[in-house]
Structure 1
Amino acid sequence: MTRTSPYLAGLGLALAAAVAASPPGRALETIELKLPLVETTFSIQLAELSDPRALLSGHSDLAELDQATRGAIGRSLVDLFNTPLPLQALDVARQVVPSPLAQQALLLLSSLGGVDGLPADISSDTVLKVLDQAAGRGPLTMRGVLQAVPGRTASVDVGKGLFLLQRMNAQLLSATRLLEGTAAATTAPALRNPGPLLVRRDTLSLPVAYRPHPLEVVVIRPTQQPSGRLVAISHGLWDGPESFEGWGRHLASHGYTVLLPRHPGSDRTQQQAMLSGKVPPPGPAELRLRPLDISALIDAAANGTLGLPTGLATGSVVVLGHSWGATTALQLAGARPSSQQLLQRCNDLQDPQRNLSWVLQCSFLGGTDQAALTDPRVKAAVAVSPPMSLLFDAGAAPVFQGRVLVVSGSRDWVVPSGPEAIGPMARVARQENSGHRLVLAGGGDHFNMGSPYDQGGGPLRGLLLAWVNGAFAAGPAVGPGPGNPTLLPPDGWGDDGLSLSDVTDRLASWNP
C-alpha cells in the first residue's frame, strides 16, 4: 500500500476529533487558514480546495499572497490538503485510532497548534466514521477527511502542519537513504519454511513474588526431539503473546522451546481496564517489572517449575521483543536506562527527533534507576522497533552484554527508524567492531512484522531463525567483541513481501 506523511494522517484524524462534538448532519464549510510568516488568517470555502490552483490563480487576498511568495503558499496548500494520507487501508486505521497511544499523539498535535479546539475526550468511533465516509469518495486526503467532518468551521495552522509533515518525513528519510543501493537479502527454504518438527502450544501459570497475580505464559515447543535451547519473546505495549506466537511456532518447528509471557501491567487487558477507568495507565515501574518477567521464566525453566521436559539448557538464552518488548530485550542484554535524556528533552515539543514513541519513553521517568536488569543468561537479543533514543543515553552508544540485532521498518511512524534505530546503532557501529547488527525492513511499519500462531511466522521468520541459530552455534563466542563470529549469515534470511537489508556496514560513516 502507498503511504506518505504519517503526521498528515495524524493531523487529519485530529481535525476529525476536533469537531466530533458538533451536531451531526452539518457539513464542514469553512477553513480558517493560518499561514506561515504572516499574521493574517484567511477564510476559504472547503469546496475551493478541490482545485487549489484555480483558487490561487484568482484575485483574492490569498491569491495575491501566493503570487507575492512566488507560489510558496500554493505549494504548501497542495501538500497539506491534497497529498494522499498514509492510512489508505482502514484496517490499519482501526488498529491505530482506538489506542491511547494514538490519542496521545493527537493531543501532541493540538499542543503544537496544528488544530484548534481538540477535546480531551476523543471518540475513536467518530474518527473511524469520518474515515469510512471519506474513503467512500476515493483515496484519503486531508481535503476528503475535512469534507466528511461534521461541523461548520475548522482552523488549520498550515505552518505547524507542514512542520509536523517535514519532521516525520525527515525521520523516515534516513531509512530510505540507507536502503538505497543496499541489496535485500534473498530467501532460503531452510530458514523460511517450517521445520520438520510438530509443535504444541500450552498456556501455563507462574506465580511470581513481585506481582499480585501469576504470570500467564504461552509455551510453544516441539512434541519430540527438542534441541534443549530456550527462546523468550516479549510483547509490546497493549499487546499480548498472540501477536507473536507465529514467531514462536516457526522457531519451535526447528527445535526451540519458546516462552511468551503476558506482561499484565501493559497488555491488552490492562488497556481495556484503563479505558474503562478501572486502572491508571502503565506506570514507570513496568520498565523494571517486564525484564523481571523474562528472568522469572528462565528461573522457572531452570528449576522445573514450568513442568517442561528435562534437559532444557537455561544458561544461554535468546530474547526477542517487539516495541516495548524490544526495549525489554535490550535491557536484559545489558542496555542501562538513564533519566538524563528524559529530563532534558521530554518537554521540548519542537525537538526534531520527537516522535510518537516519546509518549511511552517519557512515561518511564521515575523508573529508570531501578531498571538496569541485565540477565547474564541472555546471550543474544532481537529488538524489533525498539523505542530507545531517550531511554538509553543519547550521548554515548548503548553498551550491550549480549549480541543485539535491531530491526526497524522504513514506514514505522510510531517508532521511526531515524531517531530510534539508525541514530543509536550508528553510535554503536562507531565503536570497536562488536558484532551488533541493524536490519531495515523496506515497507515495514509498526504493525506488520509480527505473526499470530496460524500465519506462518510473518516476514521476519527467516531473519529471526537465522539470528537464533547463529547465537547458539557461536557457543562461548556469542558475546559482542572483535573477532567473534558473525551471528547473521550473509544471505537467505529475506522475505518476499518486505525488503530486508543489513545496513550495519554503512553506519560507521553514516551522516544523517
Structure 2
Amino acid sequence: MKLPKHLSFHGLNFSPIKPLTNTQSRPRKRWQRQLAPLLALTIAIASFGHGMAIAAERLRIRFGPLETTLEIDDLERFARTGKASGDLELIEPFLIPEIRELLLQRVDIDPEIADDAIDLLLESSAGQRWIQMVLLMIPDSTVEQVKAAIKLAIRQAEGLSLIGILKALPGETITLDATAAIAAASRLNLPYLEAQILRSRLESDLETETDGPFTAPFDPALPGSYPVRETTLTLADRQRDRDIPVDLYIPDDPKSPLVVMSPGLGGDRSFLTYLARHLASHGFPVVAVEHPRSNRASLSDRPVSLDLGQLMPPSEFLDRPQDIRFVLDRLASGDGDLRVPLDTDNVVAIGHSLGGYTVLALAGAELRLDDLREVCGDTPEASRSYRQWLGKAPADLLQCTATQLSGNRKNLRDRRIQGAIALNPVVGELFGDKGLDRLDTPVAIVAATEDGWAPAVTHQLRPFLDLPEPKYLITAIGASHFSATDPDNPDVLDPESENYRVRDSLESENYRQLLRGASLAFVAQFTPEAIAYRPFLTGAYAQSLSTPTVPLRLNREIPKRLARWLESTRAEITRRD
C-alpha cells in the first residue's frame, strides 16, 4: 500500500494537516486557516531590523496571479507586540495567536561545532531540502545566497531558524511566493535538523577509546543452533473486543527469558522478523504482537482525509501495553495451541517507534498526561493547533493525541518485564520530566540521526539522560527511522521508494548486525551466561561494526560535554514555551 501524500513523514517531507484553531479563538474559515502559515512567514521576514539589507520599507507578496504589499514597520510592530496596525489590520483575520509561536522556533547549535556542523548540513539531503525550500519561497535568490544566509544566520544567532535565514538574505526588495510559503511552513521539522546538525558531534563525542581491534571468542550476530518452530495465532480478548495476532518463534527446549515484541504505528508482527528468528535460534522464545487498532490494516482502512492526530484512537496509548499483558496472561495459561513451556514471569520487551513507547511503559515509565497537556494544550483542538505542528516532527504531534485520555498519570507497569529495548522510541513529552525516573529495569535505547519521524535529540538522547542505570544507548549515525526494522517488511508509514529502501537496507546491514549481537547480549544478561555476553554491550563492539556510511556507537552514559548541551537546549526550549 502506498501512503497518501498528506502523510509523508521522512525528514522534512512532512506534508500539511488541516490544523484546528485554539478553542478560545473565533471560528475561521478554511481559506483563512490555510493562509495563516503564509502570514507567519511574512511576519518572520518583518522582524529583521533596519540595519540589514533585506529590511526594505515594503514587502511584496505574490499569491498566484495576485500581488500585495505591506509596510515593514507594521509587520515589525506585530512581531514585537502581537498587535496589528496600518495595512496589517486588513488581514487581521489571519493573525491567529499561534502564528507568533513559529517566530520562536529554532534549532540550537553548539557554537563549538557550528562551522563544521553547518558545512555537513549543507552537504546532507536535509540541507539540500532546506535550500530548495527557501529558493521556492524567495524565487529571486540563488543557491549561493541561500547557503551564505544559512551560515550568517547561525553565526548571528547561535541557532538556525527560518526567520534567521530570511533575515540574512540580501536584497532591498523581497518578493515572497505565497503558494510556496504555505507549503514550506508545514514542512519544517526542526528536531530532525537538530539531529542532523549534531551528527558530527555525536560521531566524535560518543566514540569509545579502544586498545586495538575488537576480538571475542564467538560472534553473537551469527545464527544459533536451535531448531525453531514458527506459529501464527489470533488471540481474542473479548473483554476489550480486540483480536490480537501473534507470531510465535519457539526453539526446541526454550530458555528463559521470553522475548515479546511490539511494532510501531502502522507496523505488524513481521516488523522485526530477522531479529525474532535470530534470538529464537539461540534458544530464546519470541512472541511478536500486532496491535489491532494501530497496525498496518487499521491505517489501510482509514479515510485519506484524516490528519496525523487522528490516525489512531488515543486509547491505543493504554491498549497497546494491555495487549502485551493479555498475551502474556494467555501464554501463562498454557491452553490449546499455547501449551509450550515458556517462562512468562521473566520477559524482555523489544519495541520500535510507538512500540518503543509501549515497552518503556511496560517496564515502568509513567505516562504523565498533566505534563503532556502543558506542552500540547488542554483540549484536542489545542493539541492540534499551529503551535503543535509547525516546525515539529510527526511523533511530536502523535503524542499530543494522548491528552484526550482521562486523568493525569498512568502507571502501566507489568512486573513480568525484566528489561526493555526501545528502537527509535516515541518518547518526547509522554513521560514528562519525572516519568522515566520510575523505571527500575535495565533499558537499551536505540537512536538514528536520519530519523525524521521521531528525531534522535528530542525522542531518544534527551530522554536517555533521564533514565536510571543500568542503561545502554546505541546510536546509528546516518541510519533512518526504519533502518532497524526488517528490510523485507517495510512499515506502512515509510514513504520512501523501493529503491530507497534497498539502498537503506544495504547501507544499514552492519547496523542490523549490531542489533542482532547487542540484543542477544542484552537478553543474555538475565541468564547464567551474562558475563560471556557482556563484551557485546560495549562501545568497542559497536565500533567494530561501523562503516563510513553508518558509524555505530554504544554507550552506558552520554559524555558530560554533550550532556550539558542537551540539558541547556532543553532548558532553553522550556523557557521559550
Q: TM-score range by the shorter chain?
A: 0.5 to 0.7
Match of 1:465 in 2: 520
Report how many aligned residue pairs link the two structures: 382
Question: Is structure 2 residue 375 aligned with structure 1 residue 345?
Answer: yes
Q: How does 1:28-67 map to 2 (within 5 A)?
A: 36=45, 37=48, 38=55, 40-41=59-60
For 2:200 and 2:224, how far apart are their aligned partners in 1?
A: 33
Q: Is the 8 A contact 1:287 1:371 kept in 2?
A: no
1:242 deviation in Å? 1.3
Question: Is structure 2 residue 483 aligned with structure 1 residue 448?
Answer: yes
1:200 deviation in Å? 2.4
Q: How does 1:109-124 map to 2 (within 5 A)?
A: none
- Cα distance, 1:305–1:443 mapped onto 2, change above 3 Å: farther
CA-based RMSD:
4.2
Q: How does 1:296-445 map to 2 (within 5 A)?
A: 296-305=326-335, 307-308=337-338, 310-346=340-376, 347=383, 349=386, 354-367=392-405, 369=407, 371-394=410-433, 397-428=436-467, 434-445=469-480
Match of 1:148 in 2: none
For 2:242 and 2:183, how far apart are their aligned partners in 1?
A: 50
1:440 deviation in Å? 1.1
Question: Is structure 2 residue 262 aligned with structure 1 residue 237?
Answer: no
**Letter of the structure 2 residue corresponding to residue 511 of structure 1:** R
Q: Which runs of 5+ in 1 are unaligned?
A: 1-5, 16-32, 46-78, 89-108, 116-152, 478-484
Match of 1:183 in 2: 207
- Cα distance, 1:42–1:339 mapped onto 2, change above 3 Å: same
**Letter of the structure 1 residue corresponding to residue 399 of structure 2:** Q
**Letter of the structure 1 residue corresponding to residue 330 of structure 2:** A
For 1:167 and 1:200, how far apart are their aligned partners in 2?
A: 42
Match of 1:273 in 2: 301
For 1:353 and 1:427, how far apart are their aligned partners in 2?
A: 25
For 2:243 and 2:296, how far apart are their aligned partners in 1?
A: 16
For 2:236 and 2:186, how far apart are their aligned partners in 1?
A: 51
**Letter of the structure 1 residue corresponding to residue 258 of structure 2:** L
Q: Is the 8 A contact 2:10 2:451 kept in 1?
A: no
- Cα distance, 1:377–1:306 mapped onto 2, change above 3 Å: farther
- Cα distance, 1:397–1:239 mapped onto 2, change above 3 Å: closer
Deviations, residues 108-164 of structure 1 (Å, cap 9, x unaligned)? x9xxxx89xxxxxxxxxxxxxxxxxxxxxxxxxxxxxxxxxxxxx763349976993
For 2:435 and 2:316, how far apart are their aligned partners in 1?
A: 25
Residue 413 of structure 1 aligns to a residue in which SS?
Answer: coil
Q: Is the 8 A contact 2:439 2:467 kept in 1?
A: no
Match of 1:49 in 2: none
Match of 2:88 in 1: none
- Cα distance, 1:195–1:242 mapped onto 2, change above 3 Å: same
- Cα distance, 1:366–1:487 mapped onto 2, change above 3 Å: farther
For 1:187 and 1:443, how far apart are their aligned partners in 2?
A: 25
Equivalent residue for 2:537, pick from 477, 480, 488: 488
For 1:278 and 1:320, how far apart are their aligned partners in 2?
A: 29
Q: Is the 8 A contact 2:11 2:451 kept in 1?
A: no
Q: Is the 8 A contact 1:208 1:215 kept in 2?
A: yes
- Cα distance, 1:306–1:174 mapped onto 2, change above 3 Å: farther
**Letter of the structure 1 residue corresponding to residue 512 of structure 2:** G
Match of 2:238 in 1: 209
For 1:253 and 1:326, how far apart are their aligned partners in 2?
A: 24
- Cα distance, 1:396–1:321 mapped onto 2, change above 3 Å: closer
1:9 deviation in Å? 3.9
**Letter of the structure 1 residue corresponding to residue 346 of structure 2:** S
Percent identity over the alignment?
24
Q: Is the 8 A contact 1:191 1:493 kept in 2?
A: no
Deviations, residues 20-48 of structure 1 (Å, cap 9, x unaligned)? xxxxxxxxxxxxx9582355136699xxx
**Letter of the structure 2 residue corresponding to residue 439 of structure 1:** I
For 2:254 and 2:266, how far apart are their aligned partners in 1?
A: 32
Question: Is structure 2 residue 531 aligned with structure 1 residue 503?
Answer: no
1:307 deviation in Å? 3.1
1:286 deviation in Å? 1.0
**Letter of the structure 1 residue corresponding to residue 442 of structure 2:** R
Q: Is the 8 A contact 1:187 1:496 kept in 2?
A: no
- Cα distance, 1:511–1:160 mapped onto 2, change above 3 Å: farther
For 2:560 and 2:259, how far apart are their aligned partners in 1?
A: 30
Deviations, residues 463-500 of structure 1 (Å, cap 9, x unaligned)? 2111111233489x9xxxxxxx9993564356455433
Deviations, residues 308-354 of structure 1 (Å, cap 9, x unaligned)? 45432121110000000010000000001011232111257568994
